[in-house]
Chains A and B, each alone.
Chain A
Amino acid sequence: MRLPSDAPRSVSPLRAVSRSLNLSLGLVLILIFFGAALVSLIWTPYDVAALDIPNKLKPPGWPHLMGTDHFGRDVFSMILVGARTSIAVAVVAVGIGMGLGVPLGLTAAARPGSFLDELIMRGNDLVFAFPALLIAIMITAVFGPGAVNAILAIGIFNIPVFARLSRGAALSLWTRDFVLSARVAGKGALRISYEHILPNILNLLIVQGTIQFSLGILAEAGLSYVGLGAQPPIPSWGRMLAESQTMISFAPHLALFPGLAIVLTVLGLNLMGDGLRDLLDPKIRRER
């Protein structure tokens, strides 16, 4: 017997369209972005490390689609390779966050209120207390700037996000009868977490993953902008923006293209995250 007040929450046609629009627009943007990264692995119009001073600061046109920078490097090629850098940083950082955060959250949820739970969650609070960029600056101050350290810094910031999320979702699942019957079947906390809890929180994790992915790209761009990310000659969108700063009055295309790349990618990821959340949520409701 369902409560009648549940009923009027069904979706209007307009909302259904905008939902699928979000998702498809997001997907298109992300596919372009991933495509660019893939293409850059085998082919770029020009070598991004080769200097060509005579052709410096060319406006967008032919053969340099997006123009050239103050060293005569092809901006289009740099954008392509920059996508690769961003993806690599964000994927590994989200990977670190999920890989450590989710097990920590599930462990804490398996013994709520225990010393271990307190230890994990207070540790999370500690990491949460520092802004991501601050952690990144601390790490790079100690270990020196570079893509690897940027990845580590962003990854560490992701751990408590996933730990919190998975602990909260897992806690409510632990009270469900199917977990109880798994315990009656003699299964231990580890096995229940893996077999019963994880599959049921996966949709939440996927949605949070896309959002953290876009935050990771932003963080990488921010770190590179202040010179703590990927080091030259590896192209990075954030550093391209930083270098264009002094030339913005006579070569605006140098700021425009990396800026657009960052905005569109983050927009695409956020749209996809929203769309996925809408897509996955009613499924949870239906299955209850």
Chain B
Amino acid sequence: MALLSINHLTLSIHGTPILRDVSMSLQPGKVLGVIGESGSGKSMTANAVMRLLPNGAACTGQIVLEERDLLDLGETRMNTLRGRDIGMIFQEPMTALNPVQTIGDQVAETILIHKAASKADALRIARETLNRVGLPEKTFPMSRYPHELSGGQRQRVVIAMAIALRPRLLIADEPTTALDVTTQAQILRLLKRLVQEDGMGLILSTHDLAVVSDMADDIVIMKRGEVVEEGPAATLYRQMKHPYTKALFAASGHVPDRAPAAESAQTPLLEVRNVVRDYSLPRTRLFRAPGHFRAVDDVSFAIRRGESLGLVGESGCGKSTLTRALLGLETVQGGEILFDGKPMVENGRVVPGIRRKMQVVFQDPYGSFNPRHKVARLITEPYHLLPDPPKGAERDRAIAEALESVDMPAAAADKYIHEFSGGQRQRIAIARALIIRPELIILDEAVSALDVSVRAQVLDLLSDLSARLGLTYLFISHDLSVVRAITDRVLVMKSGRIVEHGATEAVFKAPRHDYTKTLIDAAPRLPDVARERTAG
């Protein structure tokens, strides 16, 4: 019999329908993958099971956990279930822990709240649980604070909190989205092991099809608050009845059409020679010079005109620092950066004529625009670099042209940024980069925050633009499949150094450096059967 069954759940908030007739069920010891893009209602479904719903939410239907309908229970009864029978893991490990409490206290808290043990026993159970999630006592005493741990380690603490009382149901809402690929692989392995050991049921909701592919026994695909397809993972991948499922899979492995860059013997558009960027550490002793942290260590590479170069690395590898150095936002301590054969920085200032030829698109479509300006003003910001920016009708024409080149209506110019979705905002960010007709665009995780279908569209747009306008891209990402889809050559960065570079396909097929191999192995992959089906 099923551990959890959700029957015809319909949910609305202040009259706005959020979920419509959602049904799914989960057996003990199994993993249910809930897949959907943002707005599909997968988080709301998870919250409904926990009964952590916003004010004004009205539910009908049933959520049956071991023969008890959770929707009938009062708040007090629900509190005794949360944490004890149902554990929950959140997406963002950075904010899911209390920064002023030690990890031991936080894990023990769950146990103490449910009065499952005395204080001493609770601490002992907390210790055991931390050991189980791969945080051994020797290196991770319970007196550690969250800020002393990395993102992956914090997520382990969050998992320890969720499983401390051995709940029968574990809900993980995008548990690995905020993590690097290698960490993601470890966390997924850990979750799988815990499910097997404890025989609990796991609901794993994610937007990434590849993540669930080797985890889930059953899969539910959601779209706009409805379940569009469900079934055992193996059959679902083979059949894919619903067109949305097919579209989702196609988008997930999408490779835009693009011609490889022609080999040429010209001067490289951008050449980086032995660049070093040190940060000084805080002084630890009064009479000793403060130490240095070398974020970028002797990095050299070149980008040819019209080429698309990928830069791959995990968080903290120095790729963001390198980006800022390339944009002239940070001073380098050694080496030089040449643009079109000429030094980019002279007398500590970026040469204005060069800065005009480089633009950037950032990751976060929500944070990269001033919310108080209209789109026309936002995308013309780079005009500040021109000695004689276009005015009046000419300016309007340029705005319309830039917007149309990213498939946005010219009328968008008069709107504020909050009227647009994430994908549209990223298009506007590209329009802002294009408006002064740069030669090089640095794409700093530019598609990482987007849903798969939107990401496929933006990738198509990028490859189309590069063909039409002869743009050169530096594509910085932690997402290997995206880098593989859009770049000609790739650099792999680790701890501030470039550990491998070469033609993208060659590196992916036959990685030479161990770190590259680890990265490629860790990246979640769609099952072959699904890839074959969507490729045809």
Q: Does B15 make an interface contact (CB < 8 A)?
A: no
With A10-B54, A185-B382, A286-B418: A180-B362 Cβ-Cβ less than 8 Å? yes
User: What chain B residues lie within 8 Å of A8 (beta carbons)?
Assistant: 52-55
Counting chain A residues whose Cβ lies within 8 A of the other chain, the interface size class is 20 to 34
Pick the most buried of B46, B350, B369, B372: most chain A CB atoms within 10 A of its CB. Answer: B372
User: What chain A residues lie within 8 Å of B76 (beta carbons)?
Assistant: none
Which residues of A in the span 173-190 have a Cβ within 8 Å of any Cβ on B?
176-178, 180-187
Q: Is the CB of B47 within 8 A of A178?
A: no
User: What chain A residues lie within 8 Å of B46 (beta carbons)?
Assistant: 4
* In the bound complex, CA of A12 to CA of B53 (Å): 14
With A1-B43, A180-B362, A182-B381: A200-B372 Cβ-Cβ less than 8 Å? yes
* In the bound complex, CA of A191 to CA of B383 (Å): 14
Q: Does A233 make an interface contact (CB < 8 A)?
A: no
* In the bound complex, CA of A185 to CA of B355 (Å): 8
B378-389 interface code vs A (CB 8 A; 1 in, 0 out): 000111110000
Q: Does B359 make an interface contact (CB < 8 A)?
A: yes
Give the interface segment out of B87-95, B190-198, B230-238, B242-250. B87-95
Task: Say how far B184's CB is from chain A's closest CB, in angstroms.
Answer: 16
Q: Does A196 make an interface contact (CB < 8 A)?
A: yes
User: What chain B residues lie within 8 Å of A184 (beta carbons)?
Assistant: 327, 329, 355, 358-360, 382
Secondary structure dominating the interface of B = loop
Q: Is the CB of B370 within 8 A of A186?
A: no
B347-384 interface code vs A (CB 8 A; 1 in, 0 out): 00010100100111011101111111100000001111
Interface size, chain B (Cβ < 8 Å): 46
B179-220 interface code vs A (CB 8 A; 1 in, 0 out): 000000000000000000000000000010000000000000
Chain B residue nearest to A287 (CB atoms) is B371
Q: Is the CB of A177 within 8 A of B368?
A: yes
Secondary structure dominating the interface of A = helix
Contact check: which of A1, A4, A186, A199 meets B47 at CB < 8 Å? A4
Q: Is the CB of B381 within 8 A of A185?
A: yes
* In the bound complex, CA of A199 to CA of B207 (Å): 36
With A4-B173, A8-B54: A186-B352 Cβ-Cβ less than 8 Å? yes
* In the bound complex, CA of A176 to CA of B352 (Å): 23
Chain B residue nearest to A183 (CB atoms) is B329
Q: Is the CB of B362 within 8 A of A4?
A: no
* In the bound complex, CA of A286 to CA of B418 (Å): 9
A73-85 interface code vs B (CB 8 A; 1 in, 0 out): 0000000000000
Task: Say how far A38's CB is from chain B's closest CB, in angstroms.
Answer: 32
Q: Is the CB of B55 within 8 A of A12?
A: yes
With A185-B382, A186-B385, A200-B371: A180-B329 Cβ-Cβ less than 8 Å? yes
Chain B residue nearest to A186 (CB atoms) is B385
* In the bound complex, CA of A51 to CA of B369 (Å): 64
With A1-B91, A178-B369: A10-B382 Cβ-Cβ less than 8 Å? no
User: What chain B residues lie within 8 Å of A187 (beta carbons)?
Assistant: 381, 384
User: What chain B residues lie within 8 Å of A176 (beta carbons)?
Assistant: 367-368
Contact check: which of B91, B355, B369 meets A3 at CB < 8 Å? B91
Which residues of A in the span 90-133 have a Cβ within 8 Å of any Cβ on B?
none
Q: Is the CB of B52 within 8 A of A4?
A: yes
* In the bound complex, CA of A287 to CA of B324 (Å): 26
Known: A4-B43, A12-B55, A199-B372. 13 other contacts (CB 8 A): A1-B38, A4-B47, A4-B90, A5-B52, A7-B52, A180-B360, A181-B432, A183-B327, A183-B329, A184-B355, A184-B359, A185-B382, A288-B366
| 24 residue pairs from A and B, CB less than 8 Å apart | A1-B43, A2-B43, A4-B52, A7-B52, A7-B53, A8-B53, A10-B56, A177-B363, A177-B368, A178-B368, A178-B369, A180-B368, A181-B362, A181-B381, A184-B355, A185-B383, A185-B385, A195-B370, A196-B370, A199-B372, A199-B373, A200-B371, A200-B372, A287-B418
